[in-house]
Amino acid sequence: MLVRTGGSRREFLRVGASGAVVAALGEAPATAVGAAFRAKNDRPRLALIGAGGQGSGDARSAARFGDFVAVADVDKSHAEKAKDSDRIGKGKAEAYGDYRKVLERNDVDAVIIGTPDHWHTKICIDAMNAGKDVYCEKPLTLTIDEGKKLREAVEKTKKVLQVGTQQRSDHNKVFLLAVALVRSGRIGKIKKVTAAIGGGPVGGPFSKETPPPELNWDMWLGQAPKVDYIANRCHSEFRWWYEYSGGKLTDWGAHHVDVAHWGLGKDQTGPTTIEVERAVLPVAYKDGFATVDDRFNTVNSFVVKATFADGTPIEIRDDTENGVTFQGAGGRIFVTRDRIDLDGGAVAALYKNPLPEPLLRELRHGKPMDDHFENFFACCNDRGKPASDVWSHHRALTTCHLANIAIRLGNRKLTWDPEKEVIVGDDQANGFLSRPQRAGFEIVV
Ligand SMILES: NC(=O)c1ccc[n+]([C@@H]2O[C@H](COP(=O)([O-])OP(=O)(O)OC[C@H]3O[C@@H](n4cnc5c(N)ncnc54)[C@H](O)[C@@H]3O)[C@@H](O)[C@H]2O)c1
C-alpha cells in the first residue's frame, strides 16, 4: 500500500508494505537453487559457532534450509541450550566448547558464526580453510587489516562468505529500492548521504570477578589482551569495548554505512578524508587507548564526515532518526528498516518509469533478495556472489574503522588512500590498521 502524506509543494510517499516495493522493483528472478537445498534429502549439514542472542536467531532462520549437526560455544550453557532447542539442534546436534573440533568434522557443509566481533575473522578463515561455506555476523572485522585477510581467504579458498548485513536482502527490500532509485539517478546527483546510527552507552565502573564455571573466559578473549573477567565485557555488552568491537560505529555502521556505500556505488573503494565534527568518548584516552580498564570505552556520540575523491560525503551521526538519507540535487530519500520516505523526483519516477532491469539484475546478483539465508544457501549451491560479500563489506567497514581511529586519536583528520589502503603520512594512525594478536590466537590465511 502506498500512502501519500504532506502538502502539494513537498510530497512524501511512505512505503510501508512490501507489495508496493515489489511492484516498484519488478519481478525477482526465479531460482531453482534455493529450492534444491530445501529438497528433503539434499539439505546441507550446518554448525552454529557462537550460540548467543543473534547466533541463535540466525540458526533458527538457517534451520529452514539445513540441519544442524553441531553447536560450539565457549559458554557451555549456551551450547547446550542451542543443541537441545526444538528449532536448532533438535536434541540431535553435538555440543562443543572449541569451534576447531567442529571444523574437523567432514560432515559439516556450512557454518553460521554468531560470536562477538573479535572472533569473526579468525573463525571465518579457519572455517573456509577447512572447506566450509560461511555465514558470519556483522561487523565482519575488528580492524582494516582483518578485512584484507578475509578478502584474501575468500579469493584463495573460493568459499562462499555471506556477511550478516541482512539489509542487503531482507526488510521488505526497502533498502534495495532506495539504492536502485539512487543508482538510477532518480534524485539526481547525490550531494550527501547521512547514516544515522544512534550513539553508544556509558557504563561502569564494573567490578572484576571470577568467571562463571560454564564459561571458558580465556577462549572467549581469544586474540584480545588477557584481562580479568568483568561480566559487562562479555555476553552482549562486548560491543562497548574497543578490545572486542568498534562500538556503535561498527555495530550499526556495518548496516547503514554499508547501505550508504552501496547507494553511492562505492562498494570497491573508500573515502579519501575522514573528519570528526564532534565526538564524545566515555573515558580519558592517551595515544588512542582508554586510560582505565573497568568501564565501557567506545564512543558515545559523534558526527563524522567521510568524503570520497569525487567530493561526495557520507556523514555518520548519532543524533537523528536511525536510517539512511540520500540527499540528491532533485530529491531526497530516507530509508529505515520498516519504511522508505520519498519526495520530489523519486516519487514521480516511481510511478512513471520502471527501474532499469540491468541495474536491478546487478544489485540482486541475479537472485531473489527476499531472505538473507535463502540468498546464502542459493550461493552455496551455485557458487555465486552473496548479497553481502566480503569485498563490499570490507570497504564499508573500513570507513567505520577509520572513523574510530580518528576519534581515538583526538578527532584527528585522516587522509586515506583507498587504492593502497593506508593512511597517508600518519604512522601513529597506521598503527591502528592492525592489532597484536595473543599467542595461540593469531589470524593466518
Ligand atoms: N545482523 C544483525 O542485525 C545483528 C543483530 C545483533 C547482533 N549481531 C551480531 O552478532 C554477533 C553476536 O552478538 P550477540 O549480541 O548475539 O552476542 P552474545 O554475546 O549474545 O553472543 C555471542 C556468543 O558467542 C560465544 N562465543 C564467544 N567466543 C566464542 C568462540 N571463540 N567460539 C564459540 N563461541 C564463542 C559467546 O559465549 C556467546 O554465546 C555480534 O557480532 C553482533 O554484532 C548482528
Using the structure block, give the residue that is written with the C-alpha cell 550508504: 260
Ligand 1 mean position, distance from CA 335 (Å): 26
First to last CA, the chain: 49
Query: Alpha helix locations (H) across 97-184?
Result: 99-103, 117-129, 144-157, 174-183
Best substitution site from 73, 115, 229, 251 to test ligand 1's pocket, by max atoms within 8 Å of Cβ?
Answer: 115
Ligand 1 mean position, distance from CA 72 (Å): 12
What would the mean pLDDT of 131-148 be, rounded to a whole number?
98
329, 187 contact by CB (below 8 A): yes
Residue 110 host element (H or E): strand 110-113
For CATH 3.30.360.10, the residue range(s) in the chain are: 183-353+390-430
Ligand 1 mean position, distance from CA 87 (Å): 18
State the pLDDT at residue 42: 75
State the pLDDT at residue 380: 95
Q: Is the CB of 372 under 6 A from ligand 1?
A: no
Query: What's the CA dihedral at 109, 112, 117, 123 to 10 degrees?
Result: -20
The angle at the Cα of 67, spanning 63 to 69, to the nearest 5 degrees, equals 125
Range with lowest mean pLDDT among 18-27, 88-97, 283-292: 18-27
State the pLDDT at residue 4: 43
Q: Is the CB of 253 under 6 A from ligand 1?
A: no
Domain 33-168 bears CATH identifier 3.30.450.20 = no
Q: Cell triple for residue 83?
A: 543443541
Ligand 1 mean position, distance from CA 80 (Å): 16
Q: Is the CB of 114 under 6 A from ligand 1?
A: yes
Using the structure block, give the residue that is written with the C-alpha cell 536467531: 57
Please name which of 282, 318, 313 lies closest in space to residue 298, comparing C-alpha atoms.
282
Best substitution site from 73, 146, 250 to test ligand 1's pocket, by max atoms within 8 Å of Cβ?
Answer: 73
Q: Is the CB of 52 under 6 A from ligand 1?
A: yes
Q: Is the CB of 166 under 6 A from ligand 1?
A: yes
State the pLDDT at residue 399: 99
Ligand 1 mean position, distance from CA 306 (Å): 28
Report helix, strand and coil shares of the chain as percent, to nearest 5. Answer: 35, 20, 45
Please name which of 46, 183, 43 lies closest in space to residue 107, comparing C-alpha atoms.
46
Using the structure block, give the residue that is written with the C-alpha cell 551450547: 79
Ligand 1 mean position, distance from CA 164 (Å): 11
Q: Is the CB of 251 under 6 A from ligand 1?
A: yes
Chain segment 173-208, per-residue pLDDT in tens: 889 999 999 999 989 999 999 999 999 999 999 999
Residue 105's pLDDT band (cuts 50, 70, 90): very high
State the pLDDT at residue 72: 98
Residue 23 pLDDT > 90, yes or no?
no
Q: Cell triple for residue 259?
A: 547501505
Q: Is the CB of 73 under 6 A from ligand 1?
A: yes
Q: Is the CB of 168 under 6 A from ligand 1?
A: no
State the pLDDT at residue 173: 84
For CATH 3.40.50.720, the residue range(s) in the chain are: 33-168
Chain segment 397-429, per-residue pLDDT in tens: 999 999 999 999 999 999 999 999 999 999 999
Helix 174-183 / helix 344-352 crossing angle, nearest 10 deg: 100
Q: Is the CB of 76 under 6 A from ligand 1?
A: no
CATH class of the 183-353+390-430 domain in this structure: alpha beta
Chain segment 347-382, per-residue pLDDT in tens: 666 766 788 888 988 888 888 778 999 999 999 999
Residue 230 burial (CB count, 10 A)? 19
